[in-house]
Amino acid sequence: MSVPAAVGLGTHPGVAMARHLTAPALVAAVDRLGGRLAEVCGYQIGARDEHGGHTATVGGKLLRPAFTLLSAVAAGGSPRDAVPAATAIELLHNASLVHDDIMDGDRYRRGRPTVWAHYGVPMAILAGDALIALGFEVLGEKGSVTALARTLRLLALGQDRDLEFETRRSVSVPECLAMLTGKTGVLLGCACALGAASAGAPDEWVDRFDRWGTHLGVAFQLVDDLLGIWGDPAVTGKPVGADLRARKKSAPVVAALSVDLGLARTYASPGDWDDAEVARVTGMIERTGAREWVRSEIDRRTEAAWAELDDLDLEPAARRDLHTLTAALAVRDH
Amino acid sequence: MSVPAAVGLGTHPGVAMARHLTAPALVAAVDRLGGRLAEVCGYQIGARDEHGGHTATVGGKLLRPAFTLLSAVAAGGSPRDAVPAATAIELLHNASLVHDDIMDGDRYRRGRPTVWAHYGVPMAILAGDALIALGFEVLGEKGSVTALARTLRLLALGQDRDLEFETRRSVSVPECLAMLTGKTGVLLGCACALGAASAGAPDEWVDRFDRWGTHLGVAFQLVDDLLGIWGDPAVTGKPVGADLRARKKSAPVVAALSVDLGLARTYASPGDWDDAEVARVTGMIERTGAREWVRSEIDRRTEAAWAELDDLDLEPAARRDLHTLTAALAVRDH
């Protein structure tokens, strides 16, 4: 449902209350994303203009929040208690608008280009996912839901960084590691934290399992990145040099590009590479020491991971299983 | 992170436990979606083949669930208690794979076409959203999170029906109303239910607010559909006949098509319509009685909505505000 502007609902007390109570919560939630996603999601809710600048308010009539707040009051409660729910509903509503507009090919909404029309389909997919994540996060329930919602938000931010790196000539090693943490570390961290939490472990244990899994997730991704360049196609199932041919900015490439300007020029040049060119570029990367650096980073991450659990009194058989599983996954390039 | 097949992790006790405990939960969650989304999401998790048939198992190594279950055991708990969390993590992981594959333009994963490559981008966007919804649903926490997750799932199912209708010549009136319930009813129902819940209302009140809002959401969408054909462009902000020119299967059109076969042929014909043709088609729809039928359906839905709240002892001022807000939104075509 959408509502024509001329109905003039803006003065209805429920709508005015929704604007007063939920608009600031919406803006705060979206701003918390930071970076491009804050801008794109802010654009969707009308809190940002087409150039990323903050507007004075949010768009839409906030009808659903008005119904949430008025329902709370009608049922004998306070509207303030219903603000998280009202905010969550409006975020979910906007998420579905962003995604539906892509699917329906709709180019205009509320008199402006839709998110996909203005920022492209990839950003619109990510923005919808981020708005869903924020919806569950603002509900503010403790425990596994909040952890899962936070993870979904960080995955979207990690993927956004990854997409952005593709358009940049230069990416620093710390930026690359931060992106890997978002794209693969946080999900494994959340997997481990939720496991510990479902065992009824104390918060400090849950946090340690989270950091342990996050470090390991980054280490495993670095193993993947090595295999993407030096892996045996019979083992990886991918053709030799597939990552290089696609000009992926994987960790070894980022490390190598940061020291070899000739390689940077080669990598930025368009066109398909034959096997000889792939072999030549692979050699250039190896000579920068990038392969060794990634290997040592895998070791550092693995050590940092286990340091988190070292002094916890874990169930011995499960600790052994976690060790063997980790060791199998951290088998480095073949 | 992905893992080469030849590492042979399938026999690791943690991975075997994850397969034993979480694969059935994953299949059950996805099957519960029903229809095309069950098929598409099942394809993503490897529980369905390219023709929609059930496979013997699920794809992927289930590494993240293995870490969740082993973390639970290591922290002194039972793996069974961690199954909902492990399932949620794997669903979220698959959601992010489906969406990332669209953004990255990746056409193959696990030796098969990716979801967007096989089913198209719109289905892949929806499948990712549905997998996120299931992830929060399987966590099985009571209250507002489950309600929000269910709503996200039903929104995806409603949008799927809407997309599917576009490709069909004939849609029945009950199918159309069911689609509207999913696309716009459930979100307003959830908005109202969460409001009542945040006031600490008893479950029966929350359910009644849910049904009240769901009926109203459908009524408001029907108002929208009338405005889309008979609305004053100065009021709606949309050009006259925009919905008809786009061949939208809105409720009045579906009702009219079900009785006028000549209109069905006209509507199925391609090509742009000029103002005269739009006026002619509008007249055909009106003569079927579809406009009157939609008006009476709005009245029926509005009455059914208020019947839910009639015998509840609501706070009087808020009840009045809800009445005036509802009345303003149910202003019918101009």
Region B296-308 average pLDDT:
97
* A263 and A121 fall within a common domain: no
* A133 and A179 fall within a common domain: no
- A332 falls in which pLDDT band (50, 70, 90)? low
- A16 falls in which pLDDT band (50, 70, 90)? very high
Say whether B194 and A65 touch across the interface (CB within 8 A): no
Say whether A195 and B68 touch across the interface (CB within 8 A): yes
pLDDT for A153 equals 96
ipTM of the complex: 0.92
Name the strand (E) or helix (H) holding B112.
strand B112-113
Region B98-105 average pLDDT:
95
A158 lies in some domain: no
Contact yes or no for A101/A108 (Cβ under 8 A):
no
- Percent of chain A scoring above 90 in pLDDT: 79
Enclosing domain of residue B91: 9-140
Provide the domain count of chain A. 2
* A232 and A293 fall within a common domain: yes
* Distance of residue A201 Cα from the nearest chain B Cα, in angstroms: 6
The residues in B 10-49 lying below 8 A from A, measured between CB atoms, are: 12-15
pLDDT for A45 equals 97
| pLDDT tens digit sequence for A84-113 | 999 999 999 999 999 999 999 999 988 899
* A117 and A61 fall within a common domain: yes
A77 lies in some domain: yes
pLDDT for B6 equals 45
Nearest 10 degrees: Cα torsion A271, A276, A279, A280:
-80
| pLDDT tens digit sequence for B18-57 | 999 999 999 999 999 999 999 999 999 999 999 999 998 8
* B106 and B246 fall within a common domain: no
Is the predicted pLDDT of residue B1 greater than 70, yes or no? Answer: no
pLDDT for B137 equals 94
Highest mean pLDDT among A85-94, B1-10, B58-67: A85-94
pLDDT for B117 equals 97
B69 touching chain A per CB within 8 A = yes
- Percent of chain A scoring above 70 in pLDDT: 96
Q: How large is the greatest C-alpha to C-alpha distance in chain A, in angstroms?
A: 75
Counting every residue written for chain B, the total comes to 334
B281 lies in some domain: yes
- B242 falls in which pLDDT band (50, 70, 90)? confident
Region B69-78 average pLDDT:
95
Is the predicted pLDDT of residue A334 greater than 50, yes or no? Answer: no
| pLDDT tens digit sequence for A277-316 | 999 999 999 999 999 999 999 999 999 999 999 999 999 9
- Mark which of B124, B140, B156 sits at the end of a domain: B140
Which residues is A109 bridged to in the sheet? A112
Region A102-126 average pLDDT:
94
* A233 and A133 fall within a common domain: no
- Which of chain B's residues have a Cβ under 8 Å away from the Cβ of A111? 237
Is the predicted pLDDT of residue B311 greater than 50, yes or no? Answer: yes
Cα nearest neighbour of B224 on chain A: A1
- Mark which of A90, A122, A140 sits at the end of a domain: A140
pLDDT for A105 equals 92
pLDDT for A241 equals 82
Is the predicted pLDDT of residue B3 greater than 90, yes or no? Answer: no
B185 touching chain A per CB within 8 A = no
Say whether B82 and A135 touch across the interface (CB within 8 A): no
* Distance of residue B148 Cα from the nearest chain A Cα, in angstroms: 8
Say whether B198 and A82 touch across the interface (CB within 8 A): yes
B193 lies in some domain: yes
Q: How many CB pairs (< 8 A) connect A and B?
A: 361
| pLDDT tens digit sequence for B185-220 | 999 999 999 999 999 999 999 999 999 999 999 999
pLDDT for B334 equals 45
Which has the minimum average pLDDT: A49-58, A121-130, B290-299?
A49-58
We report the CATH number of the domain holding residue A111 as 1.10.600.10
Would you tell me how many other CB atoms lie within 10 Å of the CB of residue B204?
9
B255 lies in some domain: yes
* A133 and A249 fall within a common domain: no
Cα nearest neighbour of A141 on chain B: B145
Of A13, A72, A195, the CB nearest to B69: A195
Is the predicted pLDDT of residue A333 greater than 90, yes or no? Answer: no
Of B126, B190, B235, the CB nearest to A6: B235
Is the predicted pLDDT of residue B2 greater than 60, yes or no? Answer: yes
* B306 and B183 fall within a common domain: yes
Specify the 3-state DSSP secondary structure of B108.
strand
* B178 and B136 fall within a common domain: no
A223 touching chain B per CB within 8 A = yes
- Residue whose entry in the numeric block shows the structure tokens 């596994």: A144
B154 touching chain A per CB within 8 A = no
Of B75, B184, B236, the CB nearest to A4: B236
- Which of chain B's residues have a Cβ under 8 Å away from the Cβ of A149? 136
Strand segments (E) across A58-124:
108-109, 112-113
**What are the angstrom distances between the C-alpha of A226 and each of A161, A183, A296, B22, B225?**
20, 17, 12, 30, 56
Q: Which of B186, B198, B207 to mutate to test the interface with A (most CBs of A within 10 A)?
A: B198
Tokens of residue B129, six digits: 């959203």
Which has the minimum average pLDDT: B127-131, B263-267, B300-304?
B263-267
The pTM for the full model equals 0.92
* B111 and B15 fall within a common domain: yes
How far apart (Å, rounded) are the C-alpha atoms in residues B299 and B293?
10
Q: Which residues contact B327 (CB under 8 A, 6 or more apart)?
A: none
The residues in A 257-296 lying below 8 A from B, measured between CB atoms, are: none
* Distance of residue B150 Cα from the nearest chain A Cα, in angstroms: 12
* B223 and B134 fall within a common domain: no
Region A236-249 average pLDDT:
82
> What DSSP assignment string belongs to B235-298?
HHSS-TTHHHHTT---HHHHHHHTT-HHHHHHHHS-S---HHHHHHHHHHHHHTTHHHHHHHHH
Of B72, B111, B217, the CB nearest to A195: B72
Say whether B89 and A190 touch across the interface (CB within 8 A): yes
Say whether A9 and B325 touch across the interface (CB within 8 A): yes
pLDDT for B170 equals 85
Region A17-37 average pLDDT:
95
Which has the minimum average pLDDT: A228-242, B102-116, B169-183, B270-284?
A228-242
- Mean pLDDT, chain B, integer: 92
| pLDDT tens digit sequence for A135-186 | 999 987 668 899 999 999 999 999 999 999 988 888 999 999 999 999 999 9
A145 lies in some domain: no
| pLDDT tens digit sequence for A30-53 | 999 999 999 999 999 999 999 999
pLDDT for A8 equals 65
- A243 falls in which pLDDT band (50, 70, 90)? confident
B234 touching chain A per CB within 8 A = yes
- A214 falls in which pLDDT band (50, 70, 90)? very high
* A282 and A212 fall within a common domain: yes
- Which of chain B's residues have a Cβ under 8 Å away from the Cβ of A217? 1
Contact yes or no for A61/A9 (Cβ under 8 A):
yes
